[in-house]
A and B are shown apart, each in its own frame.
Chain A
Amino acid sequence: MKIEVRNVSKAFKKNIVLEDVNITFEDGYIYGFKGRNGSGKTVLLKIICGIYKATKGQVLYDEKEYNKATEYVPEVRALIEKPCFFPDLTGFENLKLLAKIQNKIGEKEIINALEEVNLIEEKDKKFSKYSLGMKQKLGIAQVIMENPHILILDEPFNALEKESVEKIKKFLLKEREKGKIIIISSHMEGDLESFADKIFNFEGGKVE
């Protein structure tokens, strides 16, 4: 699969957030988006996912442009900004609810995802009782549980302890070996350098 971001610009009223961005994502790579807060990383991730429309340009998945109102991009899962789940349900129940939408996986796959993010022991705790790090882990589990081909993670290591960060990085490297496309953003120095294959720097709406 190939994702092409072609001449994408995005402005909110007169505030230009992204200007003429061109990036191609291919199978088997981990791509890093680096830049300070507000540099446009999250906006581009949202455009790739179809949450925002580009003011100019287009995003193509294998040469096809998706209309977010009536279609959804297959094989993409994302965690953008802070994950929001239902506070009265447990972590496991929240994932089960999302998994039921497509009904592609069962409880076993959900458990596996929770294991991968080091959250298996807290799976029966209510989401409202989760710490910031646990919420983040559940968001990542939501991304990986259905074995998607494209994984998009916005600041995934925020609030995570070192052990979990290493475990998740190891998991993502394994996924890359399977030929998946992984896009990760971070504003932290050194977060991406150790494992991303290509890093794009975001500054003033431009991407280098």
Chain B
Amino acid sequence: MNSFIYNVSILKKVFKSGFYKTFLVFLALLSFILFDLFDSPVPITIYSLRFALGLLFTNFLAIIWFLYQIGVTIYFSYLYFFYEVDNSLEFILLRTDFFHFVLKKFIFLEMLLIVFRILFYCFLHFLFFKNVTFTVLFFMINIGVHVFVSTITFLVFIIFHSRF
């Protein structure tokens, strides 16, 4: 429970410290996509690729949308993992085995990402189920890519931390 409160407090602080600005970009992109979706005669299958965030990019907007989400995941993971480094690291480092501590943080983040991606997928499904085909494969990619990039960010953090 303590670990949960601690991690939620970090998330709140990270969000308030400027991460929320990425949501403004998100809203802008979403409105572009909605505009594009309802005003264009492009076949539905193309949208299925776009919204499921598959590896096949159908147009420039789909690439931007995909890269934006990857960027947000990397940025958020970076802020989250490096939180203690910039904020009184000694409070934690002198109280517990740091590797064990960050491993717990990593697990928390992965769980959060998976839940968020599922909710996000459901949200898009709810919004676009009439226009877009959603498949299980794209659902898995949607989660897997983000878990992968956050894991890479975690490994970068571990390498960075061990060098100092």
Contacts and interface: CB of A to CB of B under 8 A. Distances in A.
Interface string A55-85: 0000000000000111111001111111111
Interface stretch (A16-24, A26-34, A98-106, A172-180): A98-106
Given A79-B90, A80-B88, A101 B95 contact: yes
A88 B12 contact: yes
B164 A53 contact: yes
16 contacts: A50-B94, A53-B163, A68-B93, A69-B99, A72-B97, A78-B90, A83-B91, A84-B88, A84-B91, A85-B88, A86-B13, A88-B12, A89-B9, A101-B96, A102-B96, A139-B88
A88 B6 CA distance: 12
A73 B94 CA distance: 6
A52 B95 contact: no
A50 to B, nearest CB: 6
A113 interface: no
A172 B96 CA distance: 25
Contact of B87 (A50, A73, A84): A84
A87 B96 CA distance: 23
B9 A76 contact: no
Contacts of A139: 88
A44 interface: no
Given A52-B164, A88-B12, A97-B6, A68 B98 contact: yes
A98 B96 CA distance: 10
Nearest to B87: A84
A49 B90 contact: yes
Nearest to A94: B9
Nearest to B17: A87
B97 A71 contact: yes
A54 B96 CA distance: 21
A51 interface: yes
Nearest to B163: A53
A77 B92 CA distance: 10
B135 interface: no
B2 interface: yes
A98 B89 CA distance: 12
Contact of B91 (A46, A87, A142, A152): A142
Contact of A69 (B10, B88, B90, B162): B162
Contacts of B99: 69-70
B95 A72 contact: yes
A86 B9 contact: yes
Given A51-B90, A98-B95, A69 B5 contact: no
